[in-house]
């Protein structure tokens, strides 16, 4: 028989941005459980898409479709599989999305937004091996995420083998053949059912799942599959998961540690996913040492392991895509330099990254004793122990109170040249104030990247929302004084924000033009000016 299952439980009705599922029962595939001959054509508003179905075990099949628009949608199934009492076509009305559903996240120039146009500001965290823990621990992790300020979580599909990550999972993504080799054509449906459940939960919490497809921390052989085997795996991932509105694709964590894969392989993987994902979810690739080529046409945003915020403006200019520092160290106390930064430093890096025009992800690695079985958030989840989380929640509230995603402000009155070629010409011409300036002469001889980074040191980074909000973060500086150059056309309320103490102190309610601001002379201070003609939520 055939079942119609809708997440909103209303038979024969679809809802925008919610998965619509057609479930069928029939004969079991012979050998290949991935490349099943089942698809459906969905026609709506003059457009038709072909959706591949997938096998879920015990004679059950499924086709998942994500309606992105409202209106009448007709569907027609095509297959050579013998199904029992299968209805092969139908028609449903796609109702408008409920208020909490905004659709997949998209990019718009240097920012993100949901499919419905509403703003999305990523405040991420990392739980690499979330899916590979026992049910009680995963349940605890999900409850923690539900209450945390994060709206994106990075997580691996394959299990992870590393320090504090040496437990054997209860289930794996694939079955093994008789020789012990992974059979990518036979998914272990218990694992994929668990993944479905957790993706649905994250969606209910308003959290994007940044799914890491491959990674090198492995003792089971997943990193040694062939490119052809990886594509079979990707095929099942796309058939089964792409209809979830709250997923992103990360080709890998630290892709450049794979000795068995060439750059051409990675480019082919990006193209395969980009061409076969009907819903065009976000896609990027995370680095160890060498950043991915973010000019890749299927790559939607820049994902980096870095804490060097001064490089963000250069990346934005070079690629014209959003930049996320998805791994910039971990708040914790483990004996590795990447996993023992202070809570203040985690908060500091968040503010620096955002105020340079980028976005950031959190991570936490606290242990209570030197024991490899310790449950660390970054690896296994559980509970959050650090002090940065409350401060990130405080920060998120401030940024989401803005009328739009803030842009990095580029003042016209900075250094008297824009490009290095222009500087070289000015030096050659003997221009006064430039040719006799030792710093400028040194900049003329720098590499291109060094020149671009150096330019950023001449101006304090400032974010702005048009002429309505201005925000700057002073980071490690302990100055007792700063100046904001505000528009003369309106009055602003100026606040001094202590990002650690989580205080907002109004220091001026009628500021305009050049505004001098007295500061407390300590690190972690931001200054925000908000036009008096807008209201904060």
Q: Kindly provide the residue ranges of all beta strands, DSSP E only, lying in 254-350, ordered along the sequence.
A: 283-284, 302-305, 323-327, 331-332
Please list the residue range(s) of the chain that carry CATH number 3.20.20.80: 122-295+324-341+361-400
198-207, 251-260, 404-413, 433-442: the lowest-pLDDT one = 404-413
Q: Which residues contact 508 (CB under 8 A, 6 or more apart)?
A: 492, 493, 494, 515, 517
Q: Kindly provide the residue ranges of all beta strands, DSSP E only, lying in 253-355, ordered along the sequence.
A: 283-284, 302-305, 323-327, 331-332
pLDDT tens for 226-279 read 999 999 999 999 999 999 999 999 999 999 999 999 999 999 999 999 999 999
User: Distance between CA atoms of 78 and 210, rounded to whole angstroms?
Assistant: 32
Give the whole-number percent of the chain exceeding pLDDT 90: 87
CATH number given to 2-95: 2.60.40.10
Q: For 7, what's the count of Cα atoms within 13 Å in the CB-facing half-sphere?
A: 23
Number of H helices, E strands in the chain: 10, 31
Q: What is the mean pLDDT of residues 365-394?
A: 96
With beta carbons less than 8 A apart as the criterion, state whether 159 and 214 touch: no
Adjacent-strand bridge partners of 13: 93
Predicted pLDDT of residue 419: 87
Please list the residue range(s) of the chain that carry CATH number 2.60.40.3950: 462-537
Q: Which of 320, 360, 315, 366 is nearest to 339 (CA)?
A: 366
Mean pLDDT across the chain, nearest whole number? Answer: 94
On the question of pLDDT at 56 being above 50, the answer is yes
pLDDT tens for 316-365 read 999 999 999 999 999 999 999 999 999 999 999 999 999 999 999 999 99
User: Distance between CA atoms of 515 and 494, rounded to whole angstroms?
Assistant: 9
Query: DSSP state, 1?
Result: -
10-19, 55-64, 133-142, 489-498: the lowest-pLDDT one = 10-19
Predicted pLDDT of residue 4: 28
Task: Report the SS3 class of residue 388.
Answer: helix
Structure confidence at residue 389 as a pLDDT band (50, 70, 90): very high
CATH topology of domain 462-537: Immunoglobulin-like (2.60.40)
CB atoms within 10 A of CB 297: 9
On the question of pLDDT at 7 being above 50, the answer is no
pLDDT tens for 414-472 read 677 878 999 999 999 999 889 999 989 999 999 988 888 787 677 688 999 999 999 99
Query: DSSP state, 140?
Result: H
Predicted pLDDT of residue 2: 28
H/E/C letters for each residue in 473-532? ECCCCCCCEEEEECCCCCCEEEEEEECCCCEEEEEEEEECCEEEEECCCCCCEEEEEEEC
pLDDT tens for 500-522 read 999 999 999 999 999 999 999 99
Q: Which of 315, 309, 397, 326 is nearest to 360 (CA)?
A: 326
With beta carbons less than 8 A apart as the criterion, state whether 185 and 172 touch: no
Which string of DSSP letters, residue by residue, matches 230-257? HHHHHHHHHHHHTT-TTEEEEEESSGGG
On the question of pLDDT at 157 being above 50, the answer is yes
On the question of pLDDT at 410 being above 80, the answer is no
Predicted pLDDT of residue 495: 98
Could you tell me which CATH class the domain 122-295+324-341+361-400 is placed in? alpha beta
Give the whole-number percent of the chain exceeding pLDDT 70: 96
Predicted pLDDT of residue 178: 84
Structure tokens at 290: 């060498």
User: Distance between CA atoms of 44 and 93, rounded to whole angstroms?
Assistant: 10
Sheet holding 407-408, edge to edge: 407-408, 462-465, 469-473, 525-531, 492-498, 503-511
Predicted pLDDT of residue 400: 98
Task: Report the SS3 class of residue 156.
Answer: strand
User: Distance between CA atoms of 334 and 336, rounded to whole angstroms?
Assistant: 6
Q: Which of 77, 80, 98 is nearest to 88 (CA)?
A: 77
Predicted pLDDT of residue 460: 80
User: Distance between CA atoms of 147 and 487, rounded to whole angstroms?
Assistant: 39
Residue 395 parent element (H or E): helix 388-400
Predicted pLDDT of residue 6: 29
Q: Strand pairing of 469-473 and 462-465?
A: antiparallel
Task: Report the SS3 class of residue 152.
Answer: strand
């Amino acid at each position: 028989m055939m079942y119609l299952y809708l997440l909103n439980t209303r038979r024969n009705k679809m809802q925008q941005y919610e998965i619509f599922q057609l479930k069928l029962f029939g004969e079991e595939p012979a050998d290949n459980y991935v490349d099943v001959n089942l698809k459906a054509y969905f026609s709506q508003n003059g457009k038709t898409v072909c959706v591949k179905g997938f096998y879920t075990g015990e004679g059950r099949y499924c086709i998942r479709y994500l309606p992105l628009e409202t209106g009448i949608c007709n569907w027609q199934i095509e297959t050579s599989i013998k199904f029992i009492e299968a209805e092969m076509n139908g028609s449903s009305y796609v109702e408008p999305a409920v208020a909490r559903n905004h659709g997949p996240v998209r990019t718009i120039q240097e920012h993100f937004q949901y499919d419905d146009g509403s703003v999305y500001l990523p405040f991420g965290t990392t739980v690499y091996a979330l899916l590979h823990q026992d049910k009680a621990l995963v349940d605890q992790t999900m409850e923690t995420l539900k209450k945390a300020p994060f709206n994106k979580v990075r997580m691996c599909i394959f299990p992870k083998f590393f320090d504090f990550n040496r437990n054997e999972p209860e289930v794996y993504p694939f079955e093994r053949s008789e020789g012990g080799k992974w059979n990518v054509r036979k998914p272990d449906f218990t694992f994929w059912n668990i993944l479905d459940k957790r993706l649905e939960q994250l969606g209910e919490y308003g959290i994007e799942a940044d799914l890491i497809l491959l990674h090198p921390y492995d003792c089971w052989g997943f990193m040694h599959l062939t490119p052809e085997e990886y594509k079979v795996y990707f095929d099942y991932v796309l058939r089964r998961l792409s209809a979830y509105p709250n997923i992103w694709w990360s080709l890998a964590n630290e892709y450049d540690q794979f000795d068995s894969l060439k750059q051409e392989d990675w480019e082919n993987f990006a193209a395969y996913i980009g061409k076969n994902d009907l819903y065009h979810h976000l896609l990027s690739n995370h680095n160890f040492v060498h950043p991915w080529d973010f000019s890749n046409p299927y790559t939607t945003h820049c994902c980096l392991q870095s804490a060097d915020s001064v490089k963000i403006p250069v990346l934005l200019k070079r690629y014209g895509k959003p930049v996320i520092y998805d791994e910039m160290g971990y708040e914790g106390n483990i004996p590795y330099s990447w996993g023992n930064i202070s809570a203040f430093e985690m908060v500091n890096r968040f503010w620096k990254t955002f105020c340079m025009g980028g976005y950031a992800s959190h991570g936490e690695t606290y242990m209570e004793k030197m024991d490899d079985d310790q449950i660390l958030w970054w690896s296994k989840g559980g509970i959050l122990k650090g002090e940065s989380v409350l401060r990130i929640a405080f920060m998120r509230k401030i940024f989401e109170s803005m009328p739009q995603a803030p842009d990095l402000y580029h003042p016209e009155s900075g250094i008297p040249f824009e490009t290095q070629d222009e500087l070289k010409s000015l030096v050659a011409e003997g221009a006064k104030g430039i040719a006799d300036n030792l710093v400028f002469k040194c900049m003329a001889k720098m590499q291109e990247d060094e020149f671009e980074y150096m330019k950023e040191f001449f101006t304090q980074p400032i974010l702005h929302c048009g002429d309505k909000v201005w925000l700057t973060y002073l980071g490690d500086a302990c100055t007792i004084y700063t100046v904001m150059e505000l528009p003369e056309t309106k009055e602003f309320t100026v606040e001094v924000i202590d990002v650690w103490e989580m205080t907002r102190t109004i220091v001026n309610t009628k500021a305009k033009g050049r505004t001098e601001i007295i500061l407390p002379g300590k690190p972690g201070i931001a200054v925000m000016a908000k036009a008096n003609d807008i209201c904060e939520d």
